[in-house]
A and B are shown apart, each in its own frame.
Chain A
Amino acid sequence: MATKRKLIKVRVPTRERPVEERIHDFKEVNLGYDFVTALQEAERCLQCPPDYAPCIKGCPVHINIPGFIGKLLQHRDDPDRAVKEALNVIWACNTLPATTGRVCPQEDQCEKNCVMGKVGDKINIGKLERFVADYAREKNIDEELLLEIVPKIEKKPQKVAIVGAGPAGLTAAGELAKMGYGVTIYEALHEPGGVLIYGIPEFRLPKDIVEKELDKLKKLGVKILTDHVVGSTVTIEELLREYDAVFIASGAGTPRLVNAPGVNLNGIYTANEFLTRVNLMKAYRFPEYDTPVKVGKRVIVIGAGNTAMDAARSARRFGVEVIVAYRRGEEDVSARVEEFEHAKEEGVKFEFFLNPVEFLGDEKGNLRAVKFERMRPLEERDARGKRKIVGTGEYVTIEAETVIIAIGKHPNRLIVNTPGLKVERGRIVVDENLMTSIPGVFAGGDAIRGEATVILAMGDGRRAAKAIHEYLTNRAKNN
């Protein structure tokens, strides 16, 4: 069985739907691995020991990556068993692998330090994780595994409330439920998932996959109350009376607007509104779905982060011209490389060093053009290491019927107004254990960071679950 390992330098590719086909719909772009190709990619892994493996260190929730890849290799003759054991390894640290395998910026996380990168391509960890989750779901292997895990959970008497059903809240919920706590998530929208449901488009993360991943959490015993707006339907103080601990994971849902005249003209959306209409409300299927959205013949997206790419690529799928206008240069684009490339492939145009100064409308209050100032970079760099920019005094006007503003978000205001909750610049302040200024109330994800990534939020969720477990264990001992 043990053959001498040969280095396979080149990554086994995953299939992608051709551009001309995919820009007409919202179905997933990347088709992932099947068992044969997954094994080929898995075989490239050098199987570094877990206490050393740099990929594990790069993963914010520290999945035993060589461990799950090893299970695939070990049971190559029995795909179902291989996947089941691999999934078991992943679930120890991450209950949402179908999601993270798709949306994590692996190039900055697990894959960043992969040793294979020194001699060839890094291992495609994200797509392997996704393969395990997808195969397990299609064959109901995840259900089987759940049935084995759930009866072994030892129920604890304490209850934990979680505010927000986004990545941070869902991760914490999964971890706490596995520890045996009674977990209830309070979610303001009508569907759980947070940014996974309303923000990230179907073509990157199909919604039925998120829904199925959430079903698993429910089977672990997690209760999800939708339509409950914490801060209004119920307050943090009230939750503290009913629960032993609270985890605030309400995200950064308040959009930032461009501070320029005309910003309230018709046709100007925040990325949050545009993506919520398109993803959560499925406005791209109007009138089969009731929520409308208007996408003009030319759309300008302002900003160049992942949200901007999502908005631009979504708008492209309405068959219109899309321009991303960014006030900095191409090297400053903060979106994932894969998304930036996908956007370019799909025909999204990019204009750099343009800063919007005014939105121009017609007599009906509809947008007709955007006036930009041309910017130029300086040698000097700002705190984030980006080149500073200054205006040139030169202006350019581009006609457009739709603008989507994607320049960032702030934490939700409804929650940060809780009395006694220490907040700085709109973000909830926490200590090294993610505990807020209110004892027993923890916080994580974008609510403490401002706008960050899905996986950082999940890392916080996992840390918070551990911290809550320690807090409740100590409290029980002292009583």
Chain B
Amino acid sequence: MYRILEKKEIGMRHVRFKVHAPHVARKVQPGQFVIVRAFKNGERIPLTPVAWDREEGWITLTVFVRGKTTMRMATELKEGDEILNVAGPLGNPVEMKRFGRVLAIGAYAGIVEVYPIARAWQELGNDVTTLHATFEPMVVMKEEFERAVGRHILEPVPIDMNKSFPENMKDVTRKLTEKVRELLEKEHFDLVLMVGPAGDQKAVFEVVREFGIPMHVDLHPIMVDGTGMCGSCRVTVGGEVKFACIDGPGFDAYKVAWDELIARVGYYTDMERRAMEEYMKALQGGGE
């Protein structure tokens, strides 16, 4: 049981939890993640420690509300409550070295996962530019980034109420790829990092590939245990089957089988929607 020390809404649908989890705080390195189970009949979801204090034994986790579990966490959990399970740290840390000039990209809530990596790389002597593309009300961690890295670029996209959500998301993808192209045309970068939805990662990768710059991606396949025992998170990298939870989550973007990954992350969409709808119905019906 892991106590919630603080809970704060840091942007639309973005909720930050500061959680007492000394076993994770003691060991976690940038690039690693945890598996959280918040409720008794709940599922296990992967989240990324964004900040931590090894002495005080806490980590922060930012939850982007996108389905039933994250919605429940945002609505039902309060400061002082406990999260049932926080397992970790899991996965491999990112490589800690001087790459030179780095462009670190976060789409939507992916930016919170970029933070610990970008900050550590900057501290190590890299010149890090971070780029955050998201909807206007979802801009988060602006000040933290401005303090942590050489330059922080924001690409806020307004939400057009006359368009469907998928259409709005296409605007973000377009803005993101345009901005990346503009940056790569004007400046020299030694490495690109990106965290975000697999479709956007692929779109950005296709631009980066034209410039031949090395690109590192943190992949987000579906996970269950997060310790290498089930293979739910398997991805094809360089023609080989890899388990993202123990071989990753970071991989060389040039080696990832993107279309396969995109198909796999969408496998449960219909069931996810059903879970969310029934939860919303219950909330409205049973309302406290």
Binding site for B on A (CB under 8 A): 188-190, 225-229, 232-234, 253-255, 257, 263-267, 269-270, 272-273, 276-277, 281-282, 285-292, 294, 364-366, 412-414
The answer, yes or no, to whether B79 is at the interface (CB within 8 Å) is: no
Q: Is the CB of B275 within 8 A of A292?
A: yes
Question: Which single member of A267, A270, A272, A365 contacts B259 (CB below 8 Å)?
Answer: A365
Interface contact A290-B275, CB-CB below 8 Å: yes
Evaluate whether A294 and B230 lie within 8 angstroms (CB atoms) in the complex, with A190-B85, A232-B27, A233-B88 already known. Answer: no
CB–CB A233/B275 < 8 A: no
Whether A412 contacts B227 by the Cβ 8 Å rule is yes
Candidates B90, B229, B232, B279; contact of A232 at CB < 8 Å: B90
When the two chains form their complex, are residues A255 and B84 in contact, meaning their CB atoms are under 8 A apart?
Answer: no
| B246: chain A residues within 8 A (beta carbon) | 413-414
Any chain A CB within 8 A of the CB of B241? yes
In the complex, the answer to whether B271 meets A414 with C-beta atoms within 8 Å is: no
Which of A189, A253, A286, A294 is in CB contact (< 8 Å) with B267?
A294
Contact A412 B229 (CB under 8 A): yes
A233 B85 Cβ-Cβ under 8 A: no
Q: Which residues of chain B are near A190, meaning CB under 8 Å?
A: 37, 44, 84-85, 87
Establish whether residues B84 and A228, one from each chain, have CB atoms under 8 Å apart when the complex forms: no
Docked Cα-Cα span, A23 to B76, in Å, equals: 36
Cβ contact within 8 Å between A188 and B275? no
Q: Would A290 and B68 count as touching, CB distance under 8 A?
A: yes
Q: Is the CB of B229 within 8 A of A264?
A: no
Q: Could you say which residues of chain B place their CB within 8 Å of the CB of A285?
A: 41
* Smallest beta-carbon distance A188→chain B, Å: 5
Let me know if B137 is at the binding interface, CB within 8 A: no
Instruction: Tell whether A292 pairs with B278 under 8 Å between CB atoms, given A255-B231, A276-B225.
Output: no
CB–CB A264/B69 < 8 A: no
- Whether A257 and B275, one on each chain, are in contact in the complex, defined by CB atoms closer than 8 angstroms, is no
User: Is B43 in the interface zone, CB < 8 Å from A?
Assistant: yes
B39 in contact (CB, < 8 A): yes
CB distance from A307 to the nearest CB of B (A): 13
B236 at the interface (CB under 8 A from A): yes
- Per-residue A-contact encoding for B19-42, CB less than 8 Å = 1, 0 else: 000011001000000000101011
Contact A413 B89 (CB under 8 A): no
Closest CB of chain A to B74's CB: distance in Å? 15
| Residue B207, interface by CB 8 Å | no
Interface residue count for B (Cβ, 8 Å)?
45
Which residues of chain A have C-beta atoms less than 8 A from B132's C-beta? none
Q: Is the CB–CB distance between A413 and B85 below 8 Å?
A: no
**A290 pairs with B69, CB closer than 8 A:** yes
Contact A255 B44 (CB under 8 A): no
Q: A188-B87, A190-B87 are in contact. List 16 more A-B contacts (CB 8 A).
A: A226-B85, A228-B87, A232-B89, A233-B24, A263-B241, A265-B263, A266-B264, A267-B267, A273-B224, A282-B41, A286-B275, A288-B41, A291-B224, A292-B268, A366-B263, A413-B228
Over the window 26-64 of chain B, the binary record of Cβ atoms lying under 8 Å from chain A Cβ atoms (1 yes, 0 no) is 010000000001010111100000000000000000000
List A contacts of B192 (CB < 8 A). none
**Are B224 and A264 in contact, CB atoms less than 8 angstroms apart?**
no
Given A188-B225, A276-B225, the answer on whether A255 and B230 have CB atoms closer than 8 Å is: yes
| Known contacts A227-B88, A364-B263; A270 and B224 CB within 8 A of each other | no
A281 touches B44 (CB 8 A): yes
Shortest CB-to-CB span from B103 to chain A, Å, is 29
Contact B37 A286 (CB under 8 A): no
Q: Which residue of B lies closest to A235 (CB)?
A: B27
With A190-B85, A234-B23, A264-B234 in contact, is A229–B271 under 8 Å at CB?
A: no
Kindly report which residue of chain A lies nearest to residue B272, judged by CB atoms: A292
- Minimum CB distance partner of A266 in chain B: B267
Nearest chain-B residue to A225 (Cβ)? Answer: B23
**A290–B267 alpha-carbon span in the complex (Å):** 15
With a cutoff of 8 Å between Cβ atoms, the chain A residues found around residue B234 in the complex are 257, 264
Give bound CA distance, A286 to B85, whole Å: 20
Min CB–CB distance B146 → chain A (angstroms): 32
Closest to A287 in B: B275
B69: shortest Cβ distance to chain A, in Å?
Answer: 6
Q: Report whether B90 and A255 are in contact in the complex, using a CB–CB cutoff of 8 Å.
A: no
Neighbouring B residues of A253 by C-beta, 8 Å: 227-229
Q: How many whole Å from B45's CB to the nearest CB in chain A? A: 9
Q: Which residues of B contact A292 (CB under 8 A)?
A: 268, 271-272, 275
Q: With both chains docked as a complex, state the minimum distance between the C-beta of A119 and any C-beta of chain B, in angstroms.
A: 46
**Is B263 in contact with A257, judged by CB distance below 8 angstroms?**
no
By the criterion CB–CB under 8 Å, are B84 and A276 in contact?
no
Query: What are 14 A-B residue pairs whose CB atoms fall within 8 Å in the complex?
Result: A190-B37, A233-B88, A253-B228, A254-B228, A254-B229, A265-B263, A276-B225, A276-B230, A281-B44, A282-B41, A286-B275, A287-B279, A365-B263, A366-B263
Q: Report the minimal beta-carbon distance from B71 to chain A, rounded to whole angstroms.
A: 11
Distance, CA A188 to CA B225, complexed state (A):
9
Q: Which of B24, B69, B227 has the most CB of A within 10 A?
A: B227
B235 at the interface (CB under 8 A from A): yes
Contacts of A276 in B (CB 8 A): 224-225, 229-230
What chain A residues lie within 8 Å of B255 (beta carbons)? none
Q: A226 vs B21: C-alpha distance in the bound complex, in angstroms?
A: 12
Q: How far is the CA of A366 from the CA of B235 in the complex (A)?
A: 15
Contact partner of B227 (CB less than 8 A), chosen from A267, A364, A414, is: A414
Q: What string of 1s and 0s marks CB contacts (under 8 Å) between B222-252 and chain A?
A: 0011011111101110000100001000000
Which chain B residue shows the least CB distance to A262?
A: B260
Residue from B43, B90, B231 within 8 A of A281 (CB atoms): B43
Whether the pair B85, A227 counts as a contact (CB closer than 8 A) is yes
Cβ contact of B230, chosen from A228, A273, A290, A364, cutoff 8 A: A273
Residues of B within 8 A of A287 (CB): 68, 271, 274-275, 278-279
